[in-house]
Structure 1
């Protein structure tokens, strides 16, 4: 850890991850400001997200959060309060889906579950740990699902 860093480190090697281990995040309420700020950052001003009058004519009746905003906020929730693992880093995400809409006022939480481990094909000193990240709203509906691949160092033998 760098001198003066405030990050708490908890080393976790590839071998330390167990398939099936699960944790839940704290909740976070999505706001209208979240939706507008994401539209500003992304340039996505589609009426589904920003035109309340147009949304009244649609089945969902009111503006919905951008799927990738929900994904981004969900990702942030999974690292809040978690210690830094100096032996792993994000390798990417797969199978991102948004099965239910998210509205301003919805509170989301994320379940993180280790679903697989495999050797890295080009780096014998590392493996890939895959976590399923399932985001739920306050009603228990899945609003985002993604699989997160983590590039993790193996213990030295």
Structure 2
């Protein structure tokens, strides 16, 4: 859905939550093929039985791609992603976990490079079905100011 919002339309503390998505073995296999990351943590079920997790874990980059992808339900033609900061994976994601993403507007700043844009910093948390944070980062995007 296209919803034009200027920088001034955002409010500190504003929140939104996405729908959930269950992680499958196919997700892991396809991601490994796309990235070339066939590390045993993701691909070797037998070796991972003896690990601290007892099973394969999803790629962090896949968790990021899926977690951020879930947020793409809201499109603002007046903004674009500037980047992501402080990316962390505090807990592993396993096959069969269902993740969703929670977003909170954490800061609103002037953009030092573009007087006609502001920076919206959105705190991103991807959580599993147990409410545990499996990914944390800040999404920084630039939003056009009103003239």
For the superposition of Structure 1 and Structure 2, which TM-score range results when normalised by the shorter chain? over 0.9
TM-score (norm 2): 0.98
Residue matched to 1:3: none
Distance of 1:123 and 1:110 partners within structure 2? 29
Distance of 2:113 and 2:94 partners within structure 1? 43
> Does 2:89 match 1:103?
no
Residue matched to 1:137: 128
Deviation at 1:9, TM superposition (A): 1.8
Gaps of 5+ in 2: none
Deviation at 1:146, TM superposition (A): 1.1
SS in 2 for 1:108: strand
Distance of 1:34 and 1:95 partners within structure 2? 25
Deviation at 1:122, TM superposition (A): 1.4
Q: What's the CA shift string for 1:85-111, capped at 9, x where partnerless? A: 111000000011000000010000110
SS in 2 for 1:78: coil
SS in 2 for 1:79: coil
Residue matched to 1:120: 111
Runs of 4+ in 1 over 3 A off after TM superposition: none
Distance of 2:2 and 2:129 partners within structure 1? 31
**Structure 2 residue corresponding to 1:149, chosen from 126, 133, 140:** 140
Distance of 2:29 and 2:137 partners within structure 1? 23
TM-score (norm 1): 0.92
SS in 1 for 2:99: strand
C-alpha RMSD of the superposition: 0.7
